[in-house]
Amino acid sequence: MAKTSPAEFINQVRAEARKIVWPTGRETLQTTIMVLIMTTILALFFLGVDTVFNAIVSWLTSLAR
């Protein structure tokens, strides 16, 4: 593997940084809203699953008494 000088490395980093395409404000807002919606849906789903498992475990432990 060829070694690069620090100056060449900096130039390569700058060249790669110029290729970055930043999202617009609207795209960022849309993505944020979608993440919040999906997080809420998943939280409700796992709340339901946890409630069902809690009921099953409570029922099983009541049988052991």
Q: What is the pTM of this model?
A: 0.67
Q: Where are the alpha helices (DSSP H) in 2-64?
A: 6-18, 25-63
- DSSP label of 22: P
State the pLDDT at residue 24.
97
State the pLDDT at residue 4.
85
Question: pLDDT (tens digit, 0 to 9) for every residue of the chain, 65 residues total?
Answer: 678 899 999 999 999 999 999 999 999 999 999 999 999 999 999 999 999 999 999 999 999 88
Which amino acid is it at 61? T
